[in-house]
Structure 1
Amino acid sequence: MELDWLHLGTLVFLAHMLGIIAACHAVVNTRTSQGAVAWAVSLVAMPYFTLVPYLFLGRSKFAGYIDERRLENEILRSRAHPAEWHSDHASHAGGTAALQDVSGATATADATGPSELRGVAAPGPAAYLGNPAIRTLTRLSGMPFLRGNSVRVLLNGDATFTAILEAIERAKHYVIVQFFIVRADPLGQLLKELLIAKAQAGVRVYFLYDSIGSFDLPRRYVDALRAAGVETHPFATKRVFVNRFQINFRNHRKIVIVDGERAFVGGHNVGVEYLGGNPRLSPWRDTHVEVRGPAVASIQFVFTEDWYWATQRLPEVGPASPSGDDMHCMVLSSGPADKQETCSLFFVEAINAARERIWITTPYLIPDEAVFSALRLAVLRGVDVRIMIPSRRDHHVVFAASKLYAYDAINAGVRIFRYRPGFLHQKVVLVDHIAAAIGSANLDNRSFRLNFEIMVLTVDSGFASQVEAMLLEDFAQSYEIDVNDYRGAPAWRRMTMHVARLFSPIL
């Protein structure tokens, strides 16, 4: 018995020592003070319960990808001839020469001086946000703000996948497919068969899926693609040993590109639930966009970075084709490899740019302090601030935490709406009557700091009007909540909300 107690005491001592070491690591490496405190306290006080979760969830810096990105950018620069995307020609003539060769964007990250950004605030839609906002966003994203694009809204799964499959069917040279979740259900099988057919017809096909989001994708699905000549790879962070156990860093992007002519970005993944196939969440409400023009090359560049990380090879892709339209677009990619907290700062800048309204739709409402402060200040400026969230839950902990954040937002003057018909999964930001961003980023800490995301910002009054009409229809099918949504809940449920919020750094 004495020996057993000795062994138990040794194990307890070792657990607490490991907890202290892990807590020190958390303090040094966690990006936010709230997350550092949460991890440090729990690791010191309860190492038996938190050491294993910290092993999988604790890191928020993706060092390996940062190194690969630097190397890749050097390779891309050596393969391409940098163009003056920040010049008058690139900004006003469509910028088709600005994004060429394998990358789809060349040497943009180093353009930081005011003189280097001349022309991006020309008279017209771009001038609405003004030089400071455009300069900030181009520096933040490392991507050009280009005109000469055409952007089309695709409402819900039927419209989105009809357009995507039709575009792939017409592909002549190459197809790029990247999704967070790919399922081997009827929709996934349809996509697989089409990609196999195109590869056998001589079209280059690149297929990238997230290893965490698509963890249940059968091996036979991947093997069938590879056997047919489809270049198929998972995006995984565990290639570097220090990331071996990490499940934090997920590639949440959804990208399809065909021949440099058409690109698709938005909230849909590959699964029948996105077509309304899950009765509990149906009808599924989501939004994608189809992009044509020079911005397609920016989207290709985002894919190229991810593909290079997964394969150590560059995909063979061509330049973007002109669209014949004149919309101003910028592609913003973000992730844990960024020097700045790109996604969070994008939301802050978009909210700060609003003078009349800022409408946001998101399935998960877990803003960080910077975004929440920007929302409060927008209310004080007299801006119409609205956020639309689901009335149905797909994740219990996230839903509970969102209810508490909604209560705080309502107290600050933000109007919160819950979408009634089905699960709301779209990620849309509408700024005033001129700018709209649609993509994969949620209003939560995971998108802000842990996931790889992509958003397409379009500055065009006609496009903004289309997005406005879409959102007004969604608001008409929603109900506005007030403080009683929280106050009227039972005490045990309110306590659950507060406990759930403790996990917000990793939700």
Structure 2
Amino acid sequence: MQHFDWSDLAPLLALIHVLGLIAACHAILNTRTSQGAIAWAVSLATMPYLTLVPYLFLGRSKFAGYVDARRLRNETLRERAHAPERAAPPPSSSWPAYEFDPRAIRTFVQLGAMPLVPGNSVRTLVNGEATFAAILDAIEHARSYVIVQFFIVRADALGNLLKDALVACAARGVRAFFLYDSIGCFDLPSSYTAALSAGGVTVHPFATRRLFVNRFQLNFRNHRKIVVVDGERAFVGGHNVGVEYLGAKPPLSPWRDTHIEVRGPAVANIQFVFTEDWYWATQRLPDCEPPPQKPHDDGMFCLVMPTGPADRQETCSLFFVEAINAARKRLWITTPYLVPDEAVFAALRLAVLRGVDVRIMIPARRDHYVVFEASTLYAFDAIRAGIRIFRYKPGFLHQKVVLIDDVAAAIGSANLDNRSFRLNFEIMVLTVHRGFAAEVEAMLLRDFDDTVEIDRGEYRRAPALRKITMHLARLFSPIL
């Protein structure tokens, strides 16, 4: 019997180490942040067996060709389509929530290239049943067109309901557009999209390259969730399409998430965000110009904030920094993942120092092990800085909500992590209105009743091995 000679593996091991060093040099030259460059370079140089393959999929934080092409397409689109015009915020005496800093509004307007528009009506949709009941009802009553965009779509009971609703729309002459992320929906069977296409729905995947789905590029994903019906109703929030979002996936159930329904002039701005994505993916404009909308009596001011890796600035991170800086009395944030960058974490610490009630609600259950461990360590650092951290106990917390004082709330798809800040396309809708802020406050107070506030002991009582795991997980925070 011939014994295996480990020396036979020496050339292969040497090759892996050489490739690891080459990849480390590539990371130093191409990763957007110094933290990310250090994390990748150290891990590739010391642990190439574990990190070389993940770097192939996750390591490219800078994709210059894509960014340039995307910007060019967006500029072309704004010349061809009806793009929202920037506008200065109205005089403080003319809007009810005049306490909100007008300078912050001007910053948001410039940052997102979207105006603050009055005359909207916004309502919260708490959890999956309320969200999809409202979405499916709107689609059922559509008269002209329906736009659907999600990061994840499952071919399960809920996904089939959506598919049947869209096919029924097309059958009665309603134009239906369906955009899905090619990586988020990697397990969506081709039969699902084929059935949509056969039923008259215009279907297309979103990919970093238009000509083919780039399976080796897990960054730059389209994490937005947008539904628009007839240009009159828009839905934005944290839900994707799958039964787990209805709470049917133990052990994460019951799933806690929030969507909003928007009516009024802001719907056209939400639709334009979809139009940009559709134009990139298809090189065509969707045939669905939103009609003019009359202002609603609710009088809510809304600002749509689209963010993404093709922006000239790190729009999502700067949005959170400015929202935190605008808080004077209270800042409550809910997020499934707490992996902030230095700018956001510094803004949170400064808010505490100026006397703001800063609270962050995060899950007690995990859906991604590495992110959860990194979040736990960031939570410990936040507590030491005076930020109050709460863990939601009943099920997995997935909602993305920011409540600022008593006058404004932002709800959408962006998490408090670097993937949302720099690697994903996201959308948030900031609503400035005391009544809506009170509605969001009441919702969050109910959630806080189901939380436990954590202290420094959660980290200090952790076994030594888990502490090491937390610190190792945080090394990958630039791509989490």
With normalisation by structure 2, the TM-score equals 0.94
Q: Are residues 1:272 and 2:243 paired?
A: yes
For 1:143-292, what aligned pairs fall within 5 Å after superposition?
Answer: 143-239=114-210, 245-292=216-263
Cα distance between partner residues in 2 of 1:345 and 1:456: 15
Contact 1:183 1:217 in 2 (8 A): yes
Q: What is the RMSD computed on CA atoms of the aligned residues?
A: 2.1
Contact 1:120 1:126 in 2 (8 A): no
Q: Are residues 1:322 and 2:323 paired?
A: no
Equivalent in the alignment of 2:451: 478
1:370 to 337, 343, 346: 343
Cα distance between partner residues in 2 of 1:165 and 1:265: 14
1:494 to 455, 464, 467: 467
Q: CA deviation at 1:493?
A: 1.7
Equivalent position SS for 2:205? strand
2:312 to 317, 336, 339: 339
Equivalent in the alignment of 2:73: 72
Equivalent position SS for 1:308? helix
Cα distance between partner residues in 2 of 1:29 and 1:127: 44
With normalisation by structure 1, the TM-score equals 0.89
Q: CA deviation at 1:122?
A: 5.3
Contact 2:71 2:310 in 1 (8 A): no
Contact 1:393 1:399 in 2 (8 A): yes
Cα distance between partner residues in 2 of 1:243 and 1:122: 51
Q: Once structures 1 and 2 are overlaid, which stretch shifts more, 174-183 or 51-60?
A: 51-60
2:380 to 407, 412, 415: 407
Contact 2:365 2:395 in 1 (8 A): yes
Cα distance between partner residues in 1 of 2:351 and 2:199: 53
Equivalent in the alignment of 1:58: 59
CA deviations 1:22-78 (Å, max 9, x no partner) are 323322321211101111222233334333221111111343443343333343344
Summarize the Cα distance change of 1:56–1:282 in structure 2 as closer, same or farther, 3 Å threshold. Answer: same
Summarize the Cα distance change of 1:64–1:122 in structure 2 as closer, same or farther, 3 Å threshold. Answer: farther
Gaps of 5+ in 1: 81-100
Q: CA deviation at 1:344?
A: 0.9
Cα distance between partner residues in 2 of 1:462 and 1:495: 46
Q: What is the letter of the counterpart of residue 160 of structure 1?
A: T
Cα distance between partner residues in 2 of 1:375 and 1:166: 40
CA deviations 1:149-192 (Å, max 9, x no partner) are 11111111111001000000111111000011100111111110
Q: CA deviation at 1:244?
A: 5.8
Summarize the Cα distance change of 1:244–1:273 in structure 2 as closer, same or farther, 3 Å threshold. Answer: closer
Equivalent position SS for 2:99? helix
Percent of residue pairs bearing the same amino acid type: 73
Summarize the Cα distance change of 1:122–1:142 in structure 2 as closer, same or farther, 3 Å threshold. Answer: farther
Cα distance between partner residues in 1 of 2:213 and 2:193: 27
Q: CA deviation at 1:390?
A: 0.9
Q: CA deviation at 1:20?
A: 3.6
1:354 to 301, 316, 327: 327
1:396 to 352, 369, 385: 369
Q: CA deviation at 1:471?
A: 0.4
Q: Once structures 1 and 2 are overlaid, which stretch shifts more, 44-53 or 183-192?
A: 44-53
Q: What is the letter of the counterpart of residue 44 of structure 1?
A: A
Equivalent in the alignment of 1:421: 394
Summarize the Cα distance change of 1:278–1:47 in structure 2 as closer, same or farther, 3 Å threshold. Answer: closer
Cα distance between partner residues in 1 of 2:133 and 2:459: 41
Gaps of 5+ in 2: none
Q: CA deviation at 1:124?
A: 2.6
Equivalent in the alignment of 2:421: 448
Summarize the Cα distance change of 1:187–1:44 in structure 2 as closer, same or farther, 3 Å threshold. Answer: same
Contact 1:120 1:134 in 2 (8 A): no
Cα distance between partner residues in 2 of 1:118 and 1:377: 26
Cα distance between partner residues in 1 of 2:63 and 2:412: 22
Contact 2:97 2:407 in 1 (8 A): no
Q: What is the letter of the counterpart of residue 412 of structure 2?
A: G
Q: Are residues 1:142 and 2:143 paired?
A: no
Cα distance between partner residues in 2 of 1:481 and 1:238: 44
CA deviations 1:89-125 (Å, max 9, x no partner) are xxxxxxxxxxxx4xxx34x4xx6xxxx6364655434
Equivalent in the alignment of 1:21: 22
CA deviations 1:442-489 (Å, max 9, x no partner) are 111111111111100001011000000000111011111111111112
Q: CA deviation at 1:262?
A: 0.3
Summarize the Cα distance change of 1:312–1:120 in structure 2 as closer, same or farther, 3 Å threshold. Answer: farther
Aligned length: 474
Q: Once structures 1 and 2 are overlaid, which stretch shifts more, 24-33 or 207-216?
A: 24-33
For 1:287-302, what aligned pairs fall within 5 Å after superposition?
Answer: 287-302=258-273
Contact 2:182 2:207 in 1 (8 A): yes
Cα distance between partner residues in 1 of 2:369 and 2:344: 23
Summarize the Cα distance change of 1:159–1:207 in structure 2 as closer, same or farther, 3 Å threshold. Answer: same
1:131 to 83, 87, 102: 102
Equivalent in the alignment of 2:88: 117
Cα distance between partner residues in 2 of 1:278 and 1:268: 14
Cα distance between partner residues in 1 of 2:211 and 2:167: 31
Contact 1:143 1:298 in 2 (8 A): yes
Equivalent position SS for 1:273? helix
Summarize the Cα distance change of 1:242–1:438 in structure 2 as closer, same or farther, 3 Å threshold. Answer: closer
Equivalent position SS for 1:129? coil
Q: Are residues 1:458 and 2:431 paired?
A: yes
Contact 2:409 2:430 in 1 (8 A): yes
Q: Are residues 1:384 and 2:357 paired?
A: yes
Equivalent in the alignment of 1:36: 37
Q: Are residues 1:46 and 2:47 paired?
A: yes
Q: CA deviation at 1:7?
A: 8.4
Q: What is the letter of the counterpart of residue 313 of structure 2?
A: Q
